[in-house]
Amino acid sequence: MDMISEYRGNLLNHVETLYRPGERALAIELAEALGCTITDTGFKGDGDETFLAVHPNPDDLNPQNNAFYMSPMRPEQLALEDHLKKLSGEDAQFRAKLEQFYGVARSKPFGVPHFALRYPTGRAVQAAADRVQQKLGAKLGDRLHIHVFRPGDADAAVDTIVQGFLHQDVIVSGSFLYGQLIELQSQ
């Protein structure tokens, strides 16, 4: 099997992520720092910008398999996100719970919603984490947090693989207020 589309069993097809208005280039920069290749699907949906397919394997650019999509956030979600952000600034209890969630997502991400990208080795996971930090760390500041768990680490979930968790709010498959974890995993 050279292409994932040749596999005849059931597969996870894709995850759709969103980016904020004006952050398309930043979303592309993040995906490329993760080592992915971007292709344009040509599909616009209801907006002006086309959806992008993000391919973890640069040798298999099939936009329908082994990809995640990046598309512009819809106005309805933007209105909801703006309202949630306003509430988090006005309600101290809500803000405290949000900060508690960030703490868990950034230090104990196991069991927090995420999607994962597989890399061939632990070194490749570390290289991707380093690229993201180098290219986007200063630009994103507190919007970006990376934690790499290695076999033997006291807080590692398993002792056979390297897992890097990237918590960020550039591309999400849920709420921008919560952010999105992307796992970088070796096998």
Please say if the pLDDT value at position 11 is more than 80: no
| pLDDT for the residue 1 | 52
What's the rounded Cα separation, in Å, for the pair 39 and 61? 8
Q: Which residues have C-beta within 8 Å of that of residue 133, sequence separation ≥ 6?
A: 144, 146
Please say if the pLDDT value at position 35 is more than 80: yes
% of the chain with per-residue pLDDT over 70: 99
pLDDT tens digits along 148-164: 999 988 888 888 899 99
Q: Could you tell me the sign of the dihedral formed by the alpha carbons of 47, 19, 22, 103, in that order?
A: positive
Residues in the chain: 187
- State the pLDDT confidence band at 122, using cuts at 50, 70 and 90: very high
Q: Residue 113's closest CA among 163, 65, 175? A: 175
| pLDDT for the residue 9 | 76
Please say if the pLDDT value at position 3 is more than 80: no
The neighbour count for residue 181, using CB atoms within 10 Å, is 21
Can you tell me whether residue 1 is helix, strand or coil?
A: coil
- Sheet harboring 67-72: ordered strands across? 14-19, 67-72, 52-55, 37-40
Q: Residue 124's closest CA among 57, 61, 167, 184? A: 184
| pLDDT for the residue 12 | 75
Please say if the pLDDT value at position 2 is more than 70: no
Please say if the pLDDT value at position 144 is more than 60: yes
Summary mean pLDDT of the chain:
93
Computed over its alpha carbons, how large is the radius of gyration of the chain?
A: 17
Q: Residue 130's closest CA among 162, 170, 98? A: 162
> Is the separation of the CB atoms in 168 and 184 below 8 Å?
no
| pLDDT for the residue 69 | 97
> Strand 114-119 relative to strand 180-186: parallel, antiparallel, unpaired?
parallel
Instruction: Look up the pTM and report it.
Output: 0.93
pLDDT tens digits along 62-121: 888 889 999 999 999 999 999 999 999 999 999 999 999 999 999 999 999 999 999 999
The domain spans of the chain are 4-72, 75-186
Please say if the pLDDT value at position 181 is more than 70: yes
| pLDDT for the residue 82 | 97
